[in-house]
């Protein structure tokens, strides 16, 4: 298992992480090492084994359809980096 | 070459729950920005989703109404991508195990035979917020009120072969969700939205062509136009020897064209995986049956019942069952009239819908009630007034001049059924038309109708036409006076 | 190593002892709170275990607790100070999760666990340092700098709840909260010589606990003794309607069964936990601890958890996969770090995240993103979830034959600061004995059983689902027979 710099750049873009040149090569090495370790999983045959997504095999509980929340905009937006007229601001979204 | 269109639709229906799918914030439309976005909707660190039971029941209703399989176990998954209206950086949706799968609906496009359209799946997911582009200079504003509103995404099989069929399918689903009362399906407010997968193939081919996904189709008219534009674009390209790209295209209603969204949607890799914050949803038979017990009569059942019970044509039954409100109005009219359901159907579909259309009103805004229309029908049936006079009475009711009986009394519109009174009109008319009478007697029998017309006119429409017919015929057969 | 001096100074006492002192009015909550606040002031500059000290908040809570105690309304925990891991949202108080990303984040709400602690009348001293977003085994990934191990300030306290473990060991807080995703309560408890419990998954609400890996994360108590752990867990545990994964099941009185007999209890010793890789001196201490259990009437036998060696590979797929998605919300838009002058939307995302997250967090996001990406999902994520079932089945089978499973918490004692920072794989391998418990969702407790070279060694006791009462009972009986939990590092008297 060996990841190239271009693999790392692709993953970093999917994850929206700006990385320096140095970080790209460091992560290429680290990720290669880690996936080498991960590869040990292939030493066991898991044919037909049901994946376990959740430690306790219990099922969903549902909530009643009730409005229980009130307007908290001011409190939530007091910790926001940039707001105007009740909106969170981002650089122009082009559609 | 002859080309065959292949069309499948993905319809997003906002479910009419009071609160959001994973939080207790209100789903009310039109509130001030971000005032209905609670901690879960904003995606604060540490918050967790809890599934709304009503959204589940609504999805089951749709599933039962289209004869689909309701999954005994379904799973919520995360669809990961970055976008400003998606606060958590992922959308909670269903991927491998949707709640509803393999159903169908019957559609009927204008002037065509009924056709079955398969529904591949319907899954629950959360809606995103909205980006606002006006009023923030070089920035966009984000409003998360809509974030977390429950959506049911209904995905059809690629079973439609024309834009007309696509519209018919869309209308069938639209009617259905409103019947089920699981959505207000208001296209202006975005609670009923549609994407279309469109491709063409040479007629007779079995393999599908490369498809384009059309987005931003937010009215029935746009869906039809966008599909037709896209079909033509693809045919033109193929005939020019070019290849179709699998891509997402945005419909521009102003220019009536579709254009590629390449670059915006580049290389999406949604990295779906089961949402670890939500456990699998398990539904047992009893629960599903409890939802089935809540189902109203569905459009198709209603149409068949109207045909059987009221002896209506398929067309009439179809029109009258096209919305639950109209069907209810019609049936209340029949009950109030205590008379001929066909007569009621003609009046509801004719005069009533005509008057509503003229004023741009919906059936729920009708100034005349089913009781009023029913009472009017009763007066036609018991010969108090003729159909012609009834139109005058209806117009007066529409102007809020009272109910049918009051208007008939006030305007003296009661039909004349007194034999002697009618005989007097007959005598007068025959007297005044001695020349025509002579012609009639010498064989010009079609003058009979002329006499009837004159007699009705003389009675100012109040004489019962059938009685006039009978008495006149008797008179003319008898010894000449 | 200082000799045990039970009952000498307030800061050396256990929670249970302090509770008695408060109820007997030997000391007031305010006085007690001031003792610990003063000690934080004195020792935090050396140890760096607190990132936020909530002095005013604490004194207000202490005064309220005193009124409550006076009126006879106090419970066992009323008036007792506690430190909270900075991963729990605390209303109006900075909650940074060890990250530059949340350096500006004043939480607008309380985590459910925090609410429970406040309701019980506990006094919040402050927020403890931790590995960034709980990703680390040494507390070196914190944006606020590493925490020092009070037993040797040149060594790490373990992680990710290193600040909490350190604060208790140095007696600048009598108890603390922690979270455990792959060993983050048990391993620092082991390395700092205290007692810590990771409850069964779903036992403690995760609402308001900043998520790292949702299917593995679990909050739990850290303190000097098993008795203290039992007192704390009783208040922490319980169903929460805001957490779909919390379990609706009655919370037992964990303190009521502390002294239960353990005669005839079967203890399983997984041969995979005692092989190569375990320091022989650590091995000897574990063996000695097992002897103590045997003198109390328990029976030990060797068992096998055959898929143990796959737990690290599976864990380092599952946890990063979930983390890559959980941490997508940090985008510089609604809260947290936002880069300066973004050129466009992509720049806002990439730089806010690139600058706001530290190296280890970015590393794990990348691992997880890769493992979930198109073409790799089956080979990595799905495979890891299958292995997860195998590991879970191993435990299920084992618990058919034994009541408890025992082994070392960590293969080594505390290592030197910086020793493993350049080698993520070696660092990950130090979680070998703890991660499988998280993959299976089981409860696990770590307690001190001796010292190697002056550094504490922890023993891990793993129980079946919801057997926390038994874990506390067994650990308590051990602590009745031994003094390891009373050892305090020098220099912090």
The CATH number of the domain holding residue A31 is 1.10.20
Q: Long-range contacts made by residues C67-74, C-beta under 8 angstroms, separation at least 24?
A: C68/C121, C69/C22, C69/C23, C69/C25, C69/C28, C69/C29, C74/C22, C74/C23, C74/C121
> Subunits with at least 3 CB pairs below 8 A relative to chain B?
A, C
pLDDT tens digit sequence for C218-274: 999 999 999 999 999 999 999 999 999 999 999 999 999 999 999 999 999 999 999
**C45 has a pLDDT exceeding 70:** yes
How many whole angstroms separate alpha carbon C183 and alpha carbon C197?
Answer: 10
C444 at interface of A, judged by CB pairs closer than 8 A: no
Q: Which of residues 8-27 of A touch B (CB under 8 A)?
A: 14, 16
- Chain A nearest-CA distance from B133, in A, is 7
pLDDT of the residue at B462: 78
Is this complex's ipTM strictly greater than 0.85?
yes
A63 at interface of B, judged by CB pairs closer than 8 A: yes
Of B51, B133, B250, the CB nearest to A62: B51
**B416 has a pLDDT exceeding 90:** no
Among A3, A6, A13, A17, most C C-beta atoms within 10 A, so best to mutate, is: A17
Q: Quick one: pLDDT band at residue C3, thresholds 50, 70, 90?
A: very low
Of C215, C312, C369, the CB nearest to A54: C215
A62 at interface of C, judged by CB pairs closer than 8 A: no
* 8 A C-beta contact, residue B259 and residue C225: no
B290 at interface of A, judged by CB pairs closer than 8 A: no
- CA C338 to chain centroid: 30
Torsion angles phi and psi, residue B53, rounded to 5: -60, -35
Q: Quick one: pLDDT band at residue B473, thresholds 50, 70, 90?
A: confident
In this prediction, residues C296-323 reach a mean pLDDT of 97
In this prediction, residues C475-482 reach a mean pLDDT of 98
How many beta carbons lie within 10 A of that of residue C359, not counting itself? Answer: 15
- Chain B nearest-CA distance from A40, in A, is 22
Residues of chain A found within 8 Å of residue B49, distances taken between Cβ atoms: none
Residue C5 belongs to a domain = no
Supply the CATH number for residue C73's domain: 3.90.1300.10
- Of C317, C289, C236, C325, the residue nearest C474 (C-alpha): C289
B48 at interface of A, judged by CB pairs closer than 8 A: no
pLDDT tens digit sequence for B63-77: 999 999 999 999 999
Among A9, A87, A94, most B C-beta atoms within 10 A, so best to mutate, is: A87
How many beta carbons lie within 10 A of that of residue B438, not counting itself? Answer: 12
- By residue count, chain C amounts to 493
Q: Quick one: pLDDT band at residue C7, thresholds 50, 70, 90?
A: very low
- Of C193, C237, C291, C262, the residue nearest C475 (C-alpha): C262
DSSP state of C250: P
How many whole angstroms separate alpha carbon C471 and alpha carbon C462?
Answer: 8
In this prediction, residues B307-313 reach a mean pLDDT of 94
Residues of chain A found within 8 Å of residue C350, distances taken between Cβ atoms: 12-13, 16-18
Residue A82 belongs to a domain = no
Across B87-91, B113-117, B397-401, least confident range: B397-401
Residue A22 belongs to a domain = yes
pLDDT tens digit sequence for C150-183: 999 999 999 999 999 999 999 999 999 999 999 9
Q: Inter-chain contact C385–A52, Cβ cutoff 8 Å?
A: yes
Residue A35 belongs to a domain = yes
pLDDT tens digit sequence for C409-462: 999 999 999 999 888 888 898 899 999 999 999 999 999 999 999 999 999 999
Across A43-52, B407-416, C33-42, least confident range: B407-416
A12 at interface of C, judged by CB pairs closer than 8 A: yes
Cis peptide leading into C160, omega within 30 of 0?
yes
- CA of A76: which chain C residue's CA is closest? C108
Residues 6+ apart with CB under 8 A from C361: C99, C132, C133, C135, C141, C323, C327
Residues of chain C found within 8 Å of residue A9, distances taken between Cβ atoms: none
Q: Inter-chain contact C366–A11, Cβ cutoff 8 Å?
A: yes
DSSP per-residue letters across C266-319: EEEEEGGGSSTTS-HHHHHHHHHHHHHHHHTT-EEEEE--TTGGGHHHHHHHHH
B296 at interface of C, judged by CB pairs closer than 8 A: no
How many beta carbons lie within 10 A of that of residue C261, not counting itself? Answer: 10
Residues of chain B found within 8 Å of residue C209, distances taken between Cβ atoms: 46
Q: Inter-chain contact A44–C310, Cβ cutoff 8 Å?
A: yes
Residue C6 belongs to a domain = no
Q: Inter-chain contact A63–B53, Cβ cutoff 8 Å?
A: yes
Q: In angstroms, how far is the first alpha carbon of chain C from the final one?
A: 11
- Chain A nearest-CA distance from C259, in A, is 29
Torsion angles phi and psi, residue B453, rounded to 5: -60, -45
**C4 has a pLDDT exceeding 80:** no
B78 at interface of C, judged by CB pairs closer than 8 A: yes
pLDDT tens digit sequence for B248-259: 898 988 888 888
In this prediction, residues B142-165 reach a mean pLDDT of 97
How many whole angstroms separate alpha carbon C136 and alpha carbon C417?
Answer: 13
pLDDT of the residue at C278: 86
Across B303-307, B435-439, C394-398, C455-459, least confident range: B435-439
pLDDT of the residue at C137: 95
* 8 A C-beta contact, residue C146 and residue C131: no
How many whole angstroms separate alpha carbon B393 and alpha carbon B76?
Answer: 59
pLDDT tens digit sequence for B234-277: 999 999 999 998 888 989 888 888 888 865 445 679 999 999 99
Which residues span the domain enclosing A16? 5-42
Structure tokens at C313: 């590979």
How many whole angstroms separate alpha carbon C463 and alpha carbon B244?
Answer: 60
- Of C439, C437, C429, C428, the residue nearest C387 (C-alpha): C439
How many whole angstroms separate alpha carbon B446 and alpha carbon B474?
Answer: 16
Q: Inter-chain contact A95–B250, Cβ cutoff 8 Å?
A: yes
The per-residue pLDDT of chain C, averaged, comes to: 96
DSSP per-residue letters across C358-421: -HHHHHHHHHHHHHHSTTTTIIIIIHHHHHHHHHHHHHHHHHHH-SEEEEESSSSSPPBTTSST
Structure tokens at C72: 């006879």
- Chain C nearest-CA distance from A80, in A, is 4
pLDDT tens digit sequence for B162-213: 999 999 999 999 999 999 999 999 999 999 999 999 999 999 999 999 999 9
In this prediction, residues C136-145 reach a mean pLDDT of 97
How many whole angstroms separate alpha carbon C75 and alpha carbon C83?
Answer: 19
In this prediction, residues C80-105 reach a mean pLDDT of 98
pLDDT of the residue at A95: 61
**Does residue A58 or residue C332 have the better pLDDT?**
C332
Of A14, A55, A91, the CB nearest to C342: A91
In this prediction, residues B7-17 reach a mean pLDDT of 97
CA angle at B31 for the pair B27 and B37, rounded to the nearest 5°:
55
Residue C109 belongs to a domain = yes
pLDDT of the residue at C307: 96
Alpha helices, DSSP H only, in B256-369?
A: 285-292, 299-310, 314-320, 324-337, 341-347, 353-358
Q: Which helix (H) or strand (E) holds B228?
A: helix B220-239
Q: Which residues of C are part of the catalytic machinery?
A: 85, 160, 184
pLDDT of the residue at C1: 44
B63 at interface of C, judged by CB pairs closer than 8 A: no
How many whole angstroms separate alpha carbon B157 and alpha carbon B136?
Answer: 42
- CA of C103: which chain A residue's CA is closest? A79
C340 at interface of A, judged by CB pairs closer than 8 A: no
- Chain B nearest-CA distance from C87, in A, is 9
How many whole angstroms separate alpha carbon C224 and alpha carbon C164?
Answer: 12
Q: Inter-chain contact A84–B139, Cβ cutoff 8 Å?
A: yes
Torsion angles phi and psi, residue B122, rounded to 5: -140, 125
Residue C432 belongs to a domain = yes
pTM (two decimals): 0.91
- What total number of domains does chain C contain? 1
Residue C193 belongs to a domain = yes
- CA B310 to chain centroid: 21
A51 at interface of C, judged by CB pairs closer than 8 A: yes
Q: Inter-chain contact C245–B277, Cβ cutoff 8 Å?
A: yes
Residues of chain C found within 8 Å of residue A46, distances taken between Cβ atoms: 383, 386-387, 390
**Which residues on neighbouring strands pair with residue B6, listed in sequence order?**
B199
**Does residue C119 or residue B340 have the better pLDDT?**
C119
Residue A29 belongs to a domain = yes
Which residues span the domain enclosing C428? 15-493
In this prediction, residues A59-73 reach a mean pLDDT of 96
- CB contacts < 8 A, A to C, total 170
The per-residue pLDDT of chain B, averaged, comes to: 91
- Of B344, B340, B343, B304, the residue nearest B321 (C-alpha): B304
Residue A27 belongs to a domain = yes
Q: Inter-chain contact C424–A34, Cβ cutoff 8 Å?
A: yes
Residue A92 belongs to a domain = no
Among B46, B90, B136, B278, most C C-beta atoms within 10 A, so best to mutate, is: B46
pLDDT of the residue at A1: 63
CA angle at A36 for the pair A32 and A42, rounded to the nearest 5°:
140
pLDDT of the residue at B339: 76
Residue A13 belongs to a domain = yes
Q: Inter-chain contact C244–B278, Cβ cutoff 8 Å?
A: yes
Q: How far is CA B120 from CA B9, B66, B152, B155, in A?
A: 10, 11, 13, 6
B284 at interface of A, judged by CB pairs closer than 8 A: no
B134 at interface of A, judged by CB pairs closer than 8 A: no
**C318 has a pLDDT exceeding 60:** yes
Residue C433 belongs to a domain = yes
- CA of A48: which chain C residue's CA is closest? C386
- Of A46, A45, A40, the residue nearest C316 (C-alpha): A40
Q: How far is CA B276 from CA A58, B18, B48, B269, C384, in A?
A: 12, 26, 10, 19, 14
Tokens 């435990």 sit on residue:
C395
For chain A, percent of residues with pLDDT exceeding 90: 86
Q: Quick one: pLDDT band at residue B224, thresholds 50, 70, 90?
A: very high
Q: Which of residues 108-127 of C touch A (CB under 8 A)?
A: 108
Residues of chain B found within 8 Å of residue C202, distances taken between Cβ atoms: none
Residues 6+ apart with CB under 8 A from B313: B307
Structure tokens at C208: 């308001």
- What total number of domains does chain A contain? 1
**Which residues on neighbouring strands pair with residue C175, listed in sequence order?**
C223
Q: Inter-chain contact C389–A52, Cβ cutoff 8 Å?
A: yes
Q: How far is CA B298 from CA B180, B335, B424, in A?
A: 8, 20, 55
CA count, 13 A, side-chain hemisphere, C375: 3
Q: How far is CA B340 from CA B381, C74, C357, C413, C488, in A?
A: 8, 79, 76, 94, 97
């Amino acid at each position: 298992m060996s990841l190239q710099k271009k693999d790392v750049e692709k993953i970093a873009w999917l994850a929206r992480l700006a990385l320096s040149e140095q970080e790209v090569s460091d992560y290429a090495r680290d990720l290669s090492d880690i996936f080498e370790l991960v590869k040990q999983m292939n030493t066991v045959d898991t044919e037909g084994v049901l994946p376990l997504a959740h430690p306790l095999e219990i099922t969903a509980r549902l909530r009643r359809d009730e409005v229980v929340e009130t307007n908290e905009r001011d409190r939530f937006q007091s910790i926001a980096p940039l707001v105007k007229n009740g909106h969170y601001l981002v650089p122009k979204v082009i559609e | 070459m002859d080309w065959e269109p292949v069309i499948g639709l993905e319809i997003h229906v906002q479910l009419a729950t009071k609160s959001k799918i994973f939080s207790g914030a209100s789903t009310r439309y039109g509130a001030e920005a971000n005032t209905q976005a609670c901690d879960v909707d904003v995606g604060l660190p540490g918050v967790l989703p809890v599934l709304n039971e009503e959204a589940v029941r609504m999805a089951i209703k749709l599933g039962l109404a289209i004869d689909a399989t309701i999954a005994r176990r379904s799973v919520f998954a995360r669809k990961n991508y970055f976008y400003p209206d998606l606060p958590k950086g992922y959308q909670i949706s269903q991927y491998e195990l949707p709640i509803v799968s393999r159903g169908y609906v019957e559609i009927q496009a204008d002037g065509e035979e009924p056709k079955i359209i398969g529904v591949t799946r319907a899954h629950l997911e959360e809606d995103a917020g909205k980006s606002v582009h006006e009023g923030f200079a070089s920035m966009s504003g984000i409003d998360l009120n809509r974030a977390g509103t429950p959506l049911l995404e209904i995905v059809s099989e690629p079973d439609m072969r024309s834009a007309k069929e696509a519209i018919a399918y869309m209308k069938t689903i639209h009617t259905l969700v409103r019947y089920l009362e699981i959505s207000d399906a208001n296209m202006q407010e975005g609670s009923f939205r549609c994407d279309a997968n469109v491709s063409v193939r040479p007629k007779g081919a079995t393999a599908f062509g490369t498809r384009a996904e059309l987005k931003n189709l937010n009215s029935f008219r746009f869906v039809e136009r966008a599909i037709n534009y896209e079909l033509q674009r693809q045919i033109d390209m193929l005939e020019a020897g070019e290849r179709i790209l699998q891509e997402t295209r945005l419909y521009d209603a102003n220019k009536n064209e579709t254009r590629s969204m390449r670059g915006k949607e580049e290389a999406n890799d949604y990295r779906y995986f089961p949402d670890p914050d939500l456990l699998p949803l398990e539904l047992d038979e009893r629960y599903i049956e409890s939802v089935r017990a809540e189902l109203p009569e569905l459009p198709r059942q209603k149409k068949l019942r109207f045909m059987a019970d009221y002896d209506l044509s398929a067309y009439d039954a179809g029109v009258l069952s096209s919305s639950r409100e109209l069907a209810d109005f019609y049936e209340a009219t029949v009950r109030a009239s205590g008379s001929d359901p066909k007569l009621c159907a003609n009046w509801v579909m004719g005069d009533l819908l005509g008057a509503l259309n003229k004023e741009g009103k919906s059936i729920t805004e009708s100034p005349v009630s089913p009781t009023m229309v029913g009472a009017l029908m009763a007066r036609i049936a018991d010969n108090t007034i003729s159909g012609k006079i009834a139109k005058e009475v209806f117009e007066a009711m529409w102007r809020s001049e009272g109910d049918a009986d009051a208007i008939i009394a006030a305007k003296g519109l009661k039909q004349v059924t007194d034999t002697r009174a009618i005989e007097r009109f007959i005598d007068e008319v025959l007297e005044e038309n001695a020349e025509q009478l002579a012609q009639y007697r010498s064989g010009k029998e079609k003058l009979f109708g002329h006499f009837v017309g004159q007699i009705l006119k003389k009675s100012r429409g109040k004489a019962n036409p059938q009685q006039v017919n009978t008495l006149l015929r008797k008179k003319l057969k008898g010894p000449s006076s | 190593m200082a000799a045990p001096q039970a009952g000498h100074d307030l800061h050396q006492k256990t929670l249970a002892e302090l509770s008695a002192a408060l109820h007997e009015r030997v000391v007031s909550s305010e006085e007690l709170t001031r003792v610990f606040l003063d000690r934080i002031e004195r020792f935090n500059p050396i140890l760096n275990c607190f990132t936020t000290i909530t002095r005013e908040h604490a004194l207000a809570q202490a005064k309220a607790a005193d009124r409550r105690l006076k009126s006879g309304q106090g419970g066992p925990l009323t008036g007792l100070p506690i430190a909270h891991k900075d991963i729990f949202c605390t209303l109006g108080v900075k909650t940074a999760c060890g990250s530059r990303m949340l350096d500006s984040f004043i939480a607008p709400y309380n985590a459910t666990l925090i609410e429970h602690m406040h309701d019980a009348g506990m006094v919040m001293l402050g927020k403890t340092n931790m590995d960034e977003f709980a990703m680390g085994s040494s507390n070196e990934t914190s944006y606020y700098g590493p925490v020092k191990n009070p037993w040797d300030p040149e060594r790490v306290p373990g992680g990710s709840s290193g600040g909490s473990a350190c604060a208790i060991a140095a007696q600048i807080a009598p108890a603390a909260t922690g979270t455990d995703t792959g060993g983050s309560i048990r391993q620092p408890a082991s390395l700092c010589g205290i007692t810590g419990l990771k409850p069964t998954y779903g036992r403690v609400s995760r609402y308001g606990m900043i998520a790292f890996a949702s299917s593995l994360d679990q909050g739990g108590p850290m303190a000097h003794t098993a008795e203290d752990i039992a007192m704390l867990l009783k208040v922490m545990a319980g169903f929460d309607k805001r957490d779909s994964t919390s379990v609706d099941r009655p919370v037992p009185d964990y303190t009521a069964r502390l002294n239960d007999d353990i005669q005839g209890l079967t203890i399983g010793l997984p041969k995979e936990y005692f092989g190569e890789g375990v320091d022989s001196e650590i091995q000897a201490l574990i063996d000695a601890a097992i002897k103590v259990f045997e003198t109390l009437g328990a029976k030990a036998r060797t068992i096998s958890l055959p898929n143990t060696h796959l737990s690290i590979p599976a864990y380092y797929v599952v946890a990063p996969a979930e983390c890559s998605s959980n941490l997508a919300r940090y985008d510089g838009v609604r809260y947290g770090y936002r880069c300066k002058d973004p050129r466009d939307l992509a720049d806002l995302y990439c730089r806010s995240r690139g600058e706001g997250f530290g190296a280890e967090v970015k590393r794990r996001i990348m691992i997880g993103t890769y493992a979930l990406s198109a073409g790799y999902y089956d080979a990595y994520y799905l495979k890891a979830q299958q292995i997860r079932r195998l590991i879970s089945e191993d435990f299920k089978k084992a618990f058919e034959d034994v009541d408890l499973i025992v082994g070392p918490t960590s293969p080594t004692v505390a290592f030197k600061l910086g020793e493993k920072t350049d080698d993520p794989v070696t660092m990950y391998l130090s979680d070998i004995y703890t991660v499988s418990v998280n993959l299976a969702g089981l409860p696990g407790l770590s307690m001190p059983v001796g010292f190697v070279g002056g550094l504490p060694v922890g023993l891990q006791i793993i129980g079946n689902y919801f057997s926390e009462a038994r874990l506390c009972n067994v650990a308590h009986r051990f602590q009745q027979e031994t003094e390891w939990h009373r050892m305090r590092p020098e220099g912090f008297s």
